[in-house]
Amino acid sequence: MKAVRIHEHGGVDKLRYEEAENPRISAPNEVIVKLRAASVNHIDIWVRLGATGIAIPMPHILGGDGAGVIFDVGGEGILCVFMYELWEKGWMGPMLNM
């Protein structure tokens, strides 16, 4: 798949449109959304600049907002996954993990 990624923090010159591995489910509370539309928001700019103070693994795919269909789910009985079915339309945005 193609993605806009950063390999280090900095300005817009650090953005790379390149080939990336397809995402894989790594936890039971995760879903994979096959995107039909994606965008960046102010949080993505802060991440690119390194202004969040949170260490993130690199390379990192930017794009905190998107819309598409549920392509894969991580497990059963988890609220996040239980609410969705495969191929259901949905959206995603940044959320706090509490």
Whether 84 maps to a domain, the answer reads yes
Q: Which residue has the higher pLDDT, 91 or 41?
A: 41
Whether 55 maps to a domain, the answer reads yes
pLDDT of residue 30: 79
Average pLDDT for residues 3-8, to the nearest whole number?
A: 94
pLDDT at residue 51 is higher than 50: yes
What is the reported pTM? 0.71
As for how many domains the chain has, the answer is: 1
Q: The domain containing residue 11 runs over which residues? A: 2-92
Q: What is the DSSP string of 22-59?
A: PP---STT-EEEEEEEEE--HHHHHHHHTTT-----SS
Whether 56 maps to a domain, the answer reads yes
Q: Which CATH number covers residue 49? A: 3.90.180.10
Q: What does the block give as tokens for 42?
A: 């102010």
Whether 98 maps to a domain, the answer reads no
How does residue 45 score in pLDDT terms, banded at 50, 70 and 90? Answer: very high
pLDDT at residue 8 is higher than 50: yes
**Cβ atoms within 10 Å of 66's Cβ, excluding its own:** 16
